[in-house]
Amino acid sequence: MAAILPRTICKAAEAALSLHSVLPRAACHFARYLGGVSSACSNPGTASVEFLPWHNGGGLLHRAASVDPTAVVEPGAVVHSGAVLGREVVVGSGAVVGPSVSIGQSTRIGYNVVLSNCSVGDFCIIHNGASIGQDGFGFFVDDAGQVKKKPQTLYAKIGDHVEIGANTCIDRGSWRETIIGDHTKIDNLVQIGHNVVIGKCCMICGQVGIAGSATLGDYVTLGGRVAIRDHVSIVSKVRLVANSLVTKDIQEPGDYGGFPAVPINEWRRQIANMRLFSKKDGMKR
């Protein structure tokens, strides 16, 4: 028994040493996959890579990223060059923080979130699968009949205390920055186009679609599947019934509904008249 114990301890020590040597090598291979490895990394004995494991969580950080020591970057997450992570930020597994993205303190980034060309404020929650800062849908047909892409070069700015639901997409700006105001809450599966400006304390329910360059004031509430056309402006303190379509500016606070959206009482009269008309038409037949 006395002879077995030293042999067991020796084997455990060897296993620990081999595991210690494998971790940098695995990080090196993953970093090479990301395209961020220096040429020296091709040498097995060299651990000189652009992306290195973060001590608090095990995710990968670019050497040029600026990360507060209290931030957590979970395994499988990647933080790119020039990104800034504030105090007590949490980046979930599979998330990607793109170059020069900034994230304010105590913000939580969910699994598989992609952040690029954007800034996120303090105390925000970005749920799983959301994508912020990608190019907007901007194209034109040139004189030769070819479809050409319009430049999308600006940013998306997310305010403080904002919550963004799972699989929601917010495009970067082209002629002005896309802005989400403080304390605004956005549900799952929402599409917000480029150049959209949303005020503070807005509530946006699931499957809403806001086309490019629309402007929403403060305390606007959009029911599920509301659609807003491009370049429309909505004043503060407007509420829209689910499935409504906004085709022109709304300049007075209040409740609206319908397709196209009209003041709520007018919409109710339309629905009542349609029912009466359908009953009368059915009796004639």
Annotated active-site positions, please? 194
**CA 119 to CA 105: how far, in whole Å?**
12
Query: Taking a C-beta distance cutoff of 8 angstroms, is the pair 228, 209 a contact?
Result: yes
Query: Taking a C-beta distance cutoff of 8 angstroms, is the pair 220, 202 a contact?
Result: yes
Q: Which two tokens stand for residue 97?
A: 């923080």
Query: Taking a C-beta distance cutoff of 8 angstroms, is the pair 28, 36 a contact?
Result: no
Query: Of the candidates 176, 170, 235, which has an alpha carbon nearest to the alpha carbon of residue 202?
Result: 235
Burial 131-148 (b: 16+ CB within 10 A, else e): bbbbbbebeeeeeeeeee
For residue 45, how many C-alpha atoms fall within 13 Å in the half-sphere facing its CB? 0
| Type of residue at 113 | V
Helix, strand, coil percentages (3-state) for the chain, rounded to 5, are 20, 30, 50
